[in-house]
């Protein structure tokens, strides 16, 4: 029986008895060796002083909880000068002193904790017949010292958010093995420099465009080659284009209309409103309302002018015969109040459902609709029905004219990407938009040409074109972006000549975020560091 159960036991033990219960397997065993060495003097001894039993948790067997009842012997030390008279036989391969689980069970449970965390790991371990609490799993993770970090040759560094907008850390990834090798508690230059000084031998560092990392690498590893990430370079030029397009918002709107306009329609035809869209003359009620609003707006301008002269709210209210609360509300809002009165009911309201139903059925004649609802009890004039039908008719005409061509103007960020994208990356409407935008502004066309050249240079890593591109960009709105590249010129050159980037680092950050969210904010930085580095 003992031979068949050797696989159940750590090496060096002999099975004495096996007891099967409904939920557990209890294995009684003793140590095979006849002697034990004194932990102080090291001399072996055969003189047994006494015996006692240790109850240790062990790996499960056939879905049952494993328990090892190990008989431990106490020996007498044979050296008379040794201060240790009696000692228990050591079991370094089986378990640690004063621990109630075998080493192999602790290793299995720690692996579960590194992958699943505390409470989720405890639930999983219980299902696997290795019951343990979540707190114990976390203690197992923290108790084991981490292996020394090997000094890599090529690393990538980037920041990650522990609490977005408030607290950030830094991850260091070995790019040759694509494995995270350390987490740093912040993203300061001094922290990065200290880490690099403690790990001499780093030759290449891939990073983003952040100045703190550049300073940290220069301080900690002055001989290392810094490589700017190519994705960040393209992102930076897109941001620069977005700011430039802010000054061309009218061009963006007109180009969006031209992109879907019928063939032959000019820009003037797009900007001049159609005859059916010309606004109707204001009614007498609207004219009276405009006069009243103009007077109130003038009073608001007086309040703003007196406030600019340093008057107090009380003095302004007394001078202009206004309530002080009104003055305070106007000044806080920073804009003229609307003075809109809530809409009052109309005699047409009880018949709106009928009118809408008839309109949907195709009855668009206002006079005919008026006669129909008049027979139903409507006492108002025909002009009420005509005024109700006017916006409905205009909506129908606008929908008919725009049904075949409708494309919203892209945002500045989207437009910045469209103008430098390849033709096969965008559809025909977007290509027409870019062509119309370039045709409207020669200055913008030149800027887009320079930005496209930069994108091709970065994506195809044409390092020999960098100097000429910087000279070309100096005379364009991209000169500020080019000056930023000059301040980090060595890293940009390395980005165009070396294959390294922070792409693998971003992948490790995504994995780190998953682990951090699994911890639900209840674990500290040390636990996160263990799980990210050891469960890789």
**Is the model's pTM score more than 0.95?**
no
61-75 core/surface letters (b: 16 or more CB in 10 A; e: else): beeebbbbbbebbeb
Number of C-beta neighbours around residue 174 at 10 A: 20
pLDDT at 342 over 80: no
pLDDT at 238 over 70: yes
Distance CA 355, CA 302 (A): 47
Task: Look up residue 225 and give its DSSP letter.
Answer: E
Contact 448, 439 (CB under 8 A): no
pLDDT at 245 over 80: yes
State percent of the chain over pLDDT 70.
Answer: 89
Contacts of 174 (CB under 8 A, 6+ apart): 152, 154, 155, 180, 181
Q: Is 402 left (phi over 0), alpha (psi -120 to 50) or beta?
A: alpha
Q: Which whole number is the average pLDDT over 157-181? A: 90
Q: Which of 387-401, 421-435, 448-462 has the weakest average pLDDT? A: 387-401
pLDDT confidence of residue 335: 67
pLDDT tens digit string along 344-396?
567 778 888 888 888 887 788 888 888 888 888 888 888 888 888 888 777 77
Q: What are phi and psi of 186, to 5 degrees?
A: -150, -175
Alpha helices in 309-410 (DSSP H): 313-320, 324-333, 352-360, 366-375, 382-402
Q: Which whole number is the average pLDDT over 283-307? A: 78
Token pair, residue 163, equals 């609490």
State percent of the chain over pLDDT 90.
Answer: 33
Contacts of 417 (CB under 8 A, 6+ apart): 238
Distance CA 409, CA 418 (A): 12
Which class for 158: exposed (0-12), middle (13-18), buried (19 or more C-beta within 10 A)?
buried
Q: Which of 29-33, 249-253, 264-268, 459-463 has the weakest average pLDDT? A: 264-268
Pairing type for strands 64-76 and 86-88 reads antiparallel
- CA proximity to 249, closest of 444, 514, 426, 528: 444
pLDDT at 268 over 60: no
pLDDT confidence of residue 339: 58
């Amino acid at each position: 029986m003992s031979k068949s159960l050797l696989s159940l036991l750590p090496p060096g033990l002999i099975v004495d008895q096996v007891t099967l219960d409904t939920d557990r397997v209890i294995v009684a065993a003793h140590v095979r060796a006849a002697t034990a060495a004194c932990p102080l003097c090291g001399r072996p001894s055969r003189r047994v002083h006494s015996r006692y039993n240790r109850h240790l948790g062990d790996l499960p067997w056939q879905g049952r909880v494993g328990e090892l009842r190990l008989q431990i012997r106490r020996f007498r030390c044979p050296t008379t000068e040794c201060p240790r008279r009696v000692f228990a036989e050591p079991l370094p391969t089986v378990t640690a002193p004063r621990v109630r689980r075998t080493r192999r069970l602790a290793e299995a449970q720690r692996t579960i904790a590194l992958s699943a965390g505390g409470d989720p790991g405890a639930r999983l371990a219980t299902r696997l017949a290795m019951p343990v609490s979540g707190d114990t799993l976390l203690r197992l993770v923290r108790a084991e010292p981490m292996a020394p970090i090997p000094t890599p040759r090529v690393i990538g560094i980037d920041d990650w958010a522990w609490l977005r907008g408030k607290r950030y850390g830094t991850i260091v990834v070995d790019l040759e093995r694509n494995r995270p090798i350390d987490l740093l508690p912040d993203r300061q230059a001094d922290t990065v420099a200290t880490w690099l000084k403690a790990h001499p031998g780093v030759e290449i560092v891939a990073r983003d465009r952040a100045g703190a990392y550049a300073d940290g690498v220069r301080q900690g590893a002055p001989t290392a080659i810094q490589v700017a990430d190519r994705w960040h370079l393209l992102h930076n030029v897109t941001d620069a284009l977005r700011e430039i397009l802010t000054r061309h918002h009218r061009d963006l709107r007109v180009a969006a209309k031209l992109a879907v306009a019928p063939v032959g329609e000019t820009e003037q035809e797009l900007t001049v409103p159609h005859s059916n869209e010309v606004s109707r003359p204001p009614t007498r009620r609207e004219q009276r309302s405009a006069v009243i609003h103009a007077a109130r707006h003038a009073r608001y301008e007086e309040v703003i002018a007196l406030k600019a002269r340093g008057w107090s709210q009380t003095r302004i209210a007394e001078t202009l015969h206004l309530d002080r609360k009104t003055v305070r509300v106007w000044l806080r809002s920073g804009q003229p109040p609307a003075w809109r009165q809530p809409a009052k009911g109309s005699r047409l309201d009880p018949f709106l459902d009928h009118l809408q139903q008839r309109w949907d059925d195709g009855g668009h004649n206002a006079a005919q609709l008026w006669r129909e609802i008049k027979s139903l009890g409507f006492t108002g004039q025909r002009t009420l029905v005509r005024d109700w039908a006017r916006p409905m008719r205009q909506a129908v005409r606008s929908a008919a004219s725009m049904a075949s061509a409708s494309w919203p103007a892209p945002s500045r960020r989207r437009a910045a990407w469209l103008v430098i994208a390849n033709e096969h990356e965008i559809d025909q409407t977007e290509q027409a938009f870019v062509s119309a935008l370039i045709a409207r502004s020669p200055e913008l066309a030149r800027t887009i040409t320079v930005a496209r050249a930069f994108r091709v240079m970065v994506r195809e890593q044409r390092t020999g074109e960098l100097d000429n591109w910087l000279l070309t960009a100096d005379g364009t709105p991209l000169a500020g972006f080019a000056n930023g590249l000059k301040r980090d010129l060595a890293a940009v050159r390395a980005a165009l000549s070396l294959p390294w980037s922070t792409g693998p680092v971003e992948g490790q950050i995504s994995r780190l975020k998953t682990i951090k969210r699994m911890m639900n904010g209840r674990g500290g930085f040390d636990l996160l560091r263990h799980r990210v580095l050891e469960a890789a």
